[in-house]
Protein backbone atom coordinates (compact mmCIF):
# COMPACT_ATOMS: atom_id res chain seq x y z
CA UNK A 1 0.00 0.00 0.00
CA UNK A 2 1.42 3.37 -0.88
CA UNK A 3 1.21 6.65 0.96
CA UNK A 4 -0.65 9.40 -0.91
CA UNK A 5 -0.55 12.12 1.74
CA UNK A 6 2.02 12.75 4.41
CA UNK A 7 1.72 15.53 6.98
CA UNK A 8 4.66 16.18 9.29
CA UNK A 9 4.55 18.62 12.20
CA UNK A 10 1.66 20.44 10.57
CA UNK A 11 0.47 23.62 12.32
CA UNK A 12 -1.94 26.42 11.55
CA UNK A 13 -2.29 29.57 13.60
CA UNK A 14 -4.97 32.22 13.21
CA UNK A 15 -3.36 35.15 15.00
CA UNK A 16 -2.47 33.89 18.46
CA UNK A 17 -4.90 30.96 18.21
CA UNK A 18 -3.51 27.56 17.23
CA UNK A 19 -6.14 25.65 15.22
CA UNK A 20 -3.81 22.82 14.17
CA UNK A 21 -1.03 21.97 16.55
CA UNK A 22 1.96 20.04 15.24
CA UNK A 23 0.13 17.04 13.79
CA UNK A 24 1.71 14.22 11.81
CA UNK A 25 -0.12 11.47 9.97
CA UNK A 26 -0.16 9.56 6.72
CA UNK A 27 -3.03 8.72 4.37
CA UNK A 28 -2.70 5.47 2.42
CA UNK A 29 -3.97 4.88 -1.07
CA UNK A 30 -7.44 3.42 -1.72
CA UNK A 31 -8.78 3.49 1.81
CA UNK A 32 -11.74 5.29 3.38
CA UNK A 33 -10.73 7.54 6.27
CA UNK A 34 -12.91 9.18 8.88
CA UNK A 35 -11.58 12.53 10.07
CA UNK A 36 -13.55 12.91 13.28
CA UNK A 37 -13.69 15.35 16.15
CA UNK A 38 -15.84 17.83 18.00
CA UNK A 39 -16.90 21.22 16.65
CA UNK A 40 -13.88 23.43 16.17
CA UNK A 41 -11.43 20.51 16.49
CA UNK A 42 -9.59 21.54 13.32
CA UNK A 43 -10.95 19.09 10.72
CA UNK A 44 -11.90 21.65 8.06
CA UNK A 45 -8.65 23.52 8.60
CA UNK A 46 -6.65 20.33 8.07
CA UNK A 47 -8.58 19.57 4.87
CA UNK A 48 -7.94 23.09 3.62
CA UNK A 49 -4.23 22.69 4.24
CA UNK A 50 -4.10 19.27 2.55
CA UNK A 51 -5.90 20.63 -0.52
CA UNK A 52 -3.68 23.70 -0.81
CA UNK A 53 -6.54 26.10 -0.09
CA UNK A 54 -4.68 27.62 2.83
CA UNK A 55 -1.07 27.97 3.91
CA UNK A 56 0.33 26.08 6.87
CA UNK A 57 2.03 28.06 9.63
CA UNK A 58 4.52 25.25 10.11
CA UNK A 59 5.38 21.72 9.06
CA UNK A 60 5.26 19.92 5.74
CA UNK A 61 2.58 18.39 3.56
CA UNK A 62 3.32 16.05 0.70
CA UNK A 63 0.49 14.94 -1.59
CA UNK A 64 1.91 12.42 -4.06
CA UNK A 65 5.26 13.64 -2.77
CA UNK A 66 4.62 17.32 -3.63
CA UNK A 67 3.32 20.42 -1.88
CA UNK A 68 -0.38 20.93 -2.77
CA UNK A 69 -0.17 24.73 -2.79
CA UNK A 70 -0.74 26.12 -6.29
CA UNK A 71 0.23 22.75 -7.71
CA UNK A 72 -1.99 21.86 -10.69
CA UNK A 73 -0.63 18.29 -10.88
CA UNK A 74 -1.69 17.61 -7.31
CA UNK A 75 -4.96 19.51 -7.50
CA UNK A 76 -6.13 17.69 -10.63
CA UNK A 77 -6.10 14.50 -8.55
CA UNK A 78 -8.13 15.95 -5.70
CA UNK A 79 -11.77 16.79 -5.21
CA UNK A 80 -12.88 18.65 -2.09
CA UNK A 81 -16.58 18.69 -1.30
CA UNK A 82 -17.59 20.97 1.52
CA UNK A 83 -20.85 22.05 3.02
CA UNK A 84 -20.09 25.73 2.49
CA UNK A 85 -19.33 25.37 -1.24
CA UNK A 86 -20.07 28.59 -3.13
CA UNK A 87 -21.31 28.54 -6.72
CA UNK A 88 -21.32 31.48 -9.13
CA UNK A 89 -24.42 33.69 -8.94
CA UNK A 90 -27.28 32.58 -11.21
CA UNK A 91 -25.77 29.11 -11.59
CA UNK A 92 -28.30 26.33 -11.93
CA UNK A 93 -27.49 22.69 -11.08
CA UNK A 94 -27.21 21.92 -14.81
CA UNK A 95 -24.45 24.55 -15.14
CA UNK A 96 -22.49 22.96 -12.30
CA UNK A 97 -22.68 19.53 -13.90
CA UNK A 98 -21.85 20.93 -17.35
CA UNK A 99 -18.66 22.48 -15.93
CA UNK A 100 -17.59 19.46 -13.85
CA UNK A 101 -15.95 17.35 -16.60
CA UNK A 102 -13.38 20.07 -17.27
CA UNK A 103 -12.30 20.00 -13.61
CA UNK A 104 -12.09 16.25 -13.06
CA UNK A 105 -10.07 13.99 -15.35
CA UNK A 106 -11.91 10.83 -14.21
CA UNK A 107 -15.42 12.37 -14.33
CA UNK A 108 -18.17 9.79 -14.93
CA UNK A 109 -21.14 11.34 -16.69
CA UNK A 110 -22.99 8.05 -16.45
CA UNK A 111 -22.68 7.97 -12.66
CA UNK A 112 -23.58 11.67 -12.40
CA UNK A 113 -26.72 11.15 -14.52
CA UNK A 114 -27.79 8.19 -12.39
CA UNK A 115 -27.24 10.09 -9.13
CA UNK A 116 -29.03 13.23 -10.37
CA UNK A 117 -32.16 11.09 -10.82
CA UNK A 118 -31.71 9.19 -7.55
CA UNK A 119 -31.13 12.34 -5.48
CA UNK A 120 -33.94 14.14 -7.39
CA UNK A 121 -31.84 17.21 -8.16
CA UNK A 122 -33.92 19.96 -9.85
CA UNK A 123 -31.48 20.66 -12.67
CA UNK A 124 -33.16 23.82 -13.97
CA UNK A 125 -33.46 25.62 -10.64
CA UNK A 126 -31.07 28.35 -9.47
CA UNK A 127 -28.72 26.90 -6.83
CA UNK A 128 -29.59 29.91 -4.66
CA UNK A 129 -33.23 28.81 -4.63
CA UNK A 130 -32.59 25.14 -3.90
CA UNK A 131 -33.15 23.64 -0.45
CA UNK A 132 -30.15 22.96 1.78
CA UNK A 133 -30.46 19.22 1.18
CA UNK A 134 -30.63 19.70 -2.59
CA UNK A 135 -27.46 21.81 -2.55
CA UNK A 136 -25.77 19.11 -0.46
CA UNK A 137 -26.89 16.51 -3.02
CA UNK A 138 -25.17 18.50 -5.78
CA UNK A 139 -21.93 18.39 -3.76
CA UNK A 140 -22.22 14.69 -3.00
CA UNK A 141 -22.80 13.89 -6.68
CA UNK A 142 -19.80 16.01 -7.70
CA UNK A 143 -17.64 14.18 -5.18
CA UNK A 144 -18.77 10.70 -6.24
CA UNK A 145 -18.84 11.25 -10.01
CA UNK A 146 -15.47 13.05 -9.98
CA UNK A 147 -13.84 9.69 -9.15
CA UNK A 148 -10.86 11.77 -8.08
CA UNK A 149 -7.96 9.66 -6.76
CA UNK A 150 -8.25 11.62 -3.49
CA UNK A 151 -11.74 12.79 -2.50
CA UNK A 152 -12.39 14.92 0.57
CA UNK A 153 -15.95 15.13 1.90
CA UNK A 154 -16.24 17.73 4.66
CA UNK A 155 -19.61 17.09 6.31
CA UNK A 156 -21.10 16.88 2.84
CA UNK A 157 -24.66 16.09 3.77
CA UNK A 158 -26.06 18.84 5.98
CA UNK A 159 -29.76 18.91 5.28
CA UNK A 160 -29.79 15.57 3.45
CA UNK A 161 -32.62 13.36 4.69
CA UNK A 162 -32.02 9.82 5.96
CA UNK A 163 -32.93 8.24 2.60
CA UNK A 164 -30.47 10.45 0.72
CA UNK A 165 -27.71 9.89 3.27
CA UNK A 166 -28.14 6.14 2.94
CA UNK A 167 -28.05 6.54 -0.84
CA UNK A 168 -24.76 8.42 -0.47
CA UNK A 169 -23.21 5.67 1.69
CA UNK A 170 -24.45 2.90 -0.63
CA UNK A 171 -23.26 4.55 -3.84
CA UNK A 172 -19.94 5.50 -2.26
CA UNK A 173 -19.26 1.88 -1.29
CA UNK A 174 -20.45 0.49 -4.64
CA UNK A 175 -18.40 2.90 -6.71
CA UNK A 176 -15.41 2.56 -4.38
CA UNK A 177 -15.47 -1.23 -4.94
CA UNK A 178 -15.31 -0.77 -8.72
CA UNK A 179 -13.07 2.31 -8.75
CA UNK A 180 -10.94 2.28 -5.61
CA UNK A 181 -9.69 5.67 -4.49
CA UNK A 182 -8.75 7.47 -1.30
CA UNK A 183 -11.68 9.02 0.53
CA UNK A 184 -11.39 11.30 3.56
CA UNK A 185 -14.74 11.91 5.17
CA UNK A 186 -15.38 14.35 7.98
CA UNK A 187 -18.63 13.75 9.81
CA UNK A 188 -20.44 13.95 13.11
CA UNK A 189 -22.74 11.04 12.20
CA UNK A 190 -20.26 8.42 13.33
CA UNK A 191 -22.76 5.60 13.90
CA UNK A 192 -24.06 6.00 10.36
CA UNK A 193 -20.64 5.77 8.70
CA UNK A 194 -19.05 3.39 11.17
CA UNK A 195 -19.16 0.39 8.82
CA UNK A 196 -17.84 2.47 5.93
CA UNK A 197 -14.65 3.64 7.60
CA UNK A 198 -11.42 1.68 7.33
CA UNK A 199 -9.32 4.09 9.32
CA UNK A 200 -10.11 6.76 11.91
CA UNK A 201 -8.19 9.92 12.74
CA UNK A 202 -9.67 11.68 15.76
CA UNK A 203 -8.77 15.34 16.20
CA UNK A 204 -9.26 17.35 19.37
CA UNK A 205 -8.25 20.98 19.82
CA UNK A 206 -5.91 20.77 16.86
CA UNK A 207 -4.14 17.60 18.00
CA UNK A 208 -4.46 13.95 17.07
CA UNK A 209 -6.16 11.97 19.82
CA UNK A 210 -6.36 8.71 17.91
CA UNK A 211 -5.03 7.41 14.59
CA UNK A 212 -6.11 3.83 14.17
CA UNK A 213 -7.44 1.14 11.92
CA UNK A 214 -11.25 1.10 12.37
CA UNK A 215 -11.31 -2.69 12.62
CA UNK A 216 -8.96 -2.58 15.60
CA UNK A 217 -11.19 0.01 17.26
CA UNK A 218 -14.36 -2.02 16.93
CA UNK A 219 -14.54 -4.13 20.06
CA UNK A 220 -11.45 -2.46 21.51
CA UNK A 221 -13.42 -1.01 24.41
CA UNK A 222 -16.06 -2.51 26.69
CA UNK A 223 -18.35 -1.23 29.39
CA UNK A 224 -18.37 -3.35 32.53
CA UNK A 225 -21.64 -3.22 34.42
CA UNK A 226 -22.42 -4.71 37.82
CA UNK A 227 -22.04 -4.29 41.57
CA UNK A 228 -19.60 -1.46 42.26
CA UNK A 229 -17.24 -3.57 44.34
CA UNK A 230 -17.04 -6.31 41.64
CA UNK A 231 -16.63 -3.76 38.83
CA UNK A 232 -13.87 -1.97 40.77
CA UNK A 233 -12.01 -5.25 41.26
CA UNK A 234 -12.33 -6.19 37.58
CA UNK A 235 -11.17 -2.83 36.16
CA UNK A 236 -8.34 -2.41 38.64
CA UNK A 237 -5.13 -1.59 36.72
CA UNK A 238 -6.93 -1.14 33.39
CA UNK A 239 -7.23 1.91 31.16
CA UNK A 240 -10.53 3.41 32.39
CA UNK A 241 -12.04 5.96 30.02
CA UNK A 242 -15.42 6.54 31.67
CA UNK A 243 -17.17 5.91 34.97
CA UNK A 244 -20.85 6.03 35.84
CA UNK A 245 -22.57 4.83 38.93
CA UNK A 246 -25.76 4.89 40.90
CA UNK A 247 -26.32 3.36 44.31
CA UNK A 248 -24.25 0.21 44.57
CA UNK A 249 -24.07 -0.24 40.79
CA UNK A 250 -21.31 0.89 38.46
CA UNK A 251 -20.79 1.11 34.74
CA UNK A 252 -17.16 1.57 33.79
CA UNK A 253 -15.78 1.76 30.25
CA UNK A 254 -12.31 0.31 29.73
CA UNK A 255 -10.07 0.63 26.70
CA UNK A 256 -8.26 -2.44 25.38
CA UNK A 257 -9.26 -5.87 24.13
CA UNK A 258 -10.29 -8.48 26.69
CA UNK A 259 -9.05 -12.04 26.44
CA UNK A 260 -11.48 -14.94 26.44
CA UNK A 261 -10.33 -15.86 29.96
CA UNK A 262 -11.03 -12.33 31.16
CA UNK A 263 -14.50 -12.45 29.63
CA UNK A 264 -15.25 -15.70 31.40
CA UNK A 265 -13.94 -14.23 34.67
CA UNK A 266 -16.23 -11.22 34.26
CA UNK A 267 -19.29 -13.40 33.75
CA UNK A 268 -18.33 -15.57 36.72
CA UNK A 269 -18.07 -12.41 38.84
CA UNK A 270 -21.66 -11.57 37.85
CA UNK A 271 -20.61 -8.73 35.56
CA UNK A 272 -22.10 -7.78 32.23
CA UNK A 273 -19.78 -6.76 29.36
CA UNK A 274 -21.37 -4.37 26.88
CA UNK A 275 -19.56 -3.65 23.59
CA UNK A 276 -18.78 0.02 22.93
CA UNK A 277 -19.67 1.39 19.50
CA UNK A 278 -17.21 3.50 17.51
CA UNK A 279 -19.35 6.56 18.22
CA UNK A 280 -19.41 5.89 21.98
CA UNK A 281 -15.66 5.32 21.97
CA UNK A 282 -15.05 8.61 20.14
CA UNK A 283 -17.35 10.47 22.55
CA UNK A 284 -15.66 8.87 25.57
CA UNK A 285 -12.14 9.64 24.33
CA UNK A 286 -13.04 13.22 23.36
CA UNK A 287 -14.77 13.98 26.66
CA UNK A 288 -11.98 12.32 28.63
CA UNK A 289 -9.55 14.73 26.99
CA UNK A 290 -11.80 17.68 27.87
CA UNK A 291 -12.16 16.71 31.53
CA UNK A 292 -8.41 16.07 31.86
CA UNK A 293 -7.69 19.34 30.08
CA UNK A 294 -10.03 21.20 32.43
CA UNK A 295 -8.47 19.57 35.44
CA UNK A 296 -4.98 20.72 34.43
N1 LIG B 1 -10.09 32.10 9.54
C2 LIG B 1 -10.10 31.83 10.83
N3 LIG B 1 -9.79 32.75 11.75
C4 LIG B 1 -9.78 32.47 13.07
N5 LIG B 1 -10.09 31.26 13.59
C6 LIG B 1 -10.42 30.30 12.72
C7 LIG B 1 -10.45 30.51 11.31
N8 LIG B 1 -10.81 29.36 10.70
C9 LIG B 1 -11.01 28.45 11.71
N10 LIG B 1 -10.77 29.02 12.92
C11 LIG B 1 -10.86 28.35 14.22
O12 LIG B 1 -10.06 27.19 14.16
C13 LIG B 1 -10.67 26.12 14.89
C14 LIG B 1 -10.81 24.93 13.96
O15 LIG B 1 -11.84 25.21 13.01
P16 LIG B 1 -12.31 24.12 11.95
O17 LIG B 1 -13.31 24.77 11.05
O18 LIG B 1 -11.12 23.49 11.35
O19 LIG B 1 -13.06 23.06 12.90
P20 LIG B 1 -13.88 21.74 12.53
O21 LIG B 1 -13.22 20.62 13.26
O22 LIG B 1 -14.02 21.61 11.07
O23 LIG B 1 -15.29 22.07 13.24
P24 LIG B 1 -16.81 21.70 12.85
O25 LIG B 1 -16.99 20.26 13.19
O26 LIG B 1 -17.60 22.58 13.78
O27 LIG B 1 -17.01 22.02 11.41
C28 LIG B 1 -11.99 26.67 15.42
O29 LIG B 1 -11.80 27.04 16.77
C30 LIG B 1 -12.27 27.86 14.53
O31 LIG B 1 -13.01 28.83 15.25
Q: Which residues contact 127 (CB under 8 A, 6 or more apart)?
A: 87, 91, 92, 93, 96, 135, 138
Q: Enter the DSSP assignment of 251.
A: E
Q: Same structural domain for residues 227 and 176?
A: no
Sign, CA dihedral 169-172-176-182, equals: negative
Evaluate whether residue 33 is within a structural domain. Answer: yes
Of 211, 252, 213, nearest in space to 229 by CA = 252
Q: Cα–Cα distance between 55 and 75 in angstroms, integer?
A: 15
High-pLDDT (> 70) share of the chain, %: 97
- Residues in contact with 93: Cβ distance below 8 Å, sequence separation at least 6, in sequence order: 116, 121, 122, 123, 124, 125, 127, 130, 134, 138
Question: Same domain for 146 and 225?
Answer: no
83 and 226 in a single domain? The answer is no
User: What is the CA(269)–ligand 1 centre distance, in A?
Assistant: 47
Ligand 1 center from residue 151 Cα (angstroms) = 21
Q: Which of 42-46, 183-187, 216-220, 257-261 has the lowest mean pLDDT?
A: 216-220
Nearest protein CA to atom 28 of ligand 1, as residue: 40
Q: Is 290 a member of any domain?
A: no
Asked whether residue 252 falls in the same domain as residue 122, the answer is no
- Mean pLDDT for 134-146 is 95
- Tell me the best of 12, 17, 19 to mutate to test the pocket of ligand 1, counting ligand atoms within 8 Å of each CB and taking the most: 19
Whose Cα sits closest to atom 18 in ligand 1? 42
Q: Is residue 235 part of a domain?
A: yes
Same domain assignment for residues 115 and 226: no
The pLDDT of residue 296 is above 50? no
Give the ligand 1 atom nearest the CA of 42: 18
Mean pLDDT of 46-67: 95
Please indicate, yes or no, if residue 292 is contained in any of the structural domains.
no
Residue range 222-237, pLDDT digits in tens = 999 999 999 999 999 9
Residue 69: inside a domain, yes or no?
A: yes
pLDDT, position 7 = 97
CATH of the domain at 37: 3.40.50.300
Alpha helix positions (H), 51-131: 72-75, 93-103, 109-118
Q: Contact, 19 vs 58, CB < 8 A?
A: no
Domain end point (choices 217, 232, 250): 217
Q: What is the pLDDT of residues 158-178, one digit of tens each?
A: 889 999 999 999 999 999 999
The helix (run of H) or strand (run of E) holding residue 180 is none
Question: From the CA of 145, how far away is ligand 1's center (Å)?
Answer: 28
Q: Which domain holds residue 226?
A: 221-275
pLDDT at residue 295 tops 50: no
Residues 213 and 116 in one domain: yes
In this structure, are 17 and 35 located in the same domain?
yes
Average pLDDT of the chain to the nearest whole number? 92
The CATH number of residue 248's host domain is: 3.30.70
User: Ligand 1: which residues within 6 Å by Cβ?
Assistant: 14, 17, 19, 37, 39-45
Q: Are residues 41 and 121 in the same domain?
A: yes
Final residue of a structural domain among 171, 192, 217: 217
Q: From 11, 34, 35, 44, give the residue whose CB has the most ligand 1 atoms within 8 Å, as the site to mutate.
A: 44
Indicate if 126 and 245 belong to the same structural domain: no
What are 37's strand-pairing partners? 203
Let me know whether 208 and 78 are in one domain: yes
pLDDT tens column, 258-283: 999 999 999 999 999 998 989 988 88
pLDDT number for residue 291? 64
User: Quick check: 267 and 225 in contact, CB under 8 A?
Assistant: no
Question: By the 8 A CB rule, do 175 and 141 touch?
Answer: no
Contacts of 188 by beta carbon, 8 Å cutoff, 6+ apart: 155
**Once rounded to an integer, what is the mean pLDDT over residues 232-246?**
93
pLDDT for the residue numbered 54? 92
Average pLDDT over residues 183-205: 93
More confident residue, 85 or 232: 232
- 296 within a domain of the structure (yes/no): no
Residue bearing the CA closest to ligand 1, atom 2:
14
Q: Which residues pair with 253 in a beta bridge?
A: 223, 242
How far apart, in whole angstroms, are the C-alpha atoms of residue 153 and residue 51? Answer: 12
Classify residue 143: in a domain, yes or no.
Answer: yes
Q: What percentage of residues in the chain have a pLDDT greater than 90?
A: 78
Q: What is the pTM of this model?
A: 0.91
Does residue 143 sit in the same domain as residue 271?
no
The answer to whether position 288 is within a domain reads: no
Residues 80 and 204 in one domain: yes
Total of domains in the chain: 2
Amino acid sequence: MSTVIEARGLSKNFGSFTAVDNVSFTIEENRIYGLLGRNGAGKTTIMQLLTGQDFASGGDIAVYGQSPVENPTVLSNVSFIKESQKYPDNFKAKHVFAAAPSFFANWSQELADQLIVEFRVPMGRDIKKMSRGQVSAVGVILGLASRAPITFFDEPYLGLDAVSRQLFYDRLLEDFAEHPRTVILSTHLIDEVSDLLEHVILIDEGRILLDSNAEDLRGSASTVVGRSVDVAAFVDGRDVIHRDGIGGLSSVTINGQLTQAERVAAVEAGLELVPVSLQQLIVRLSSLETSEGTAK
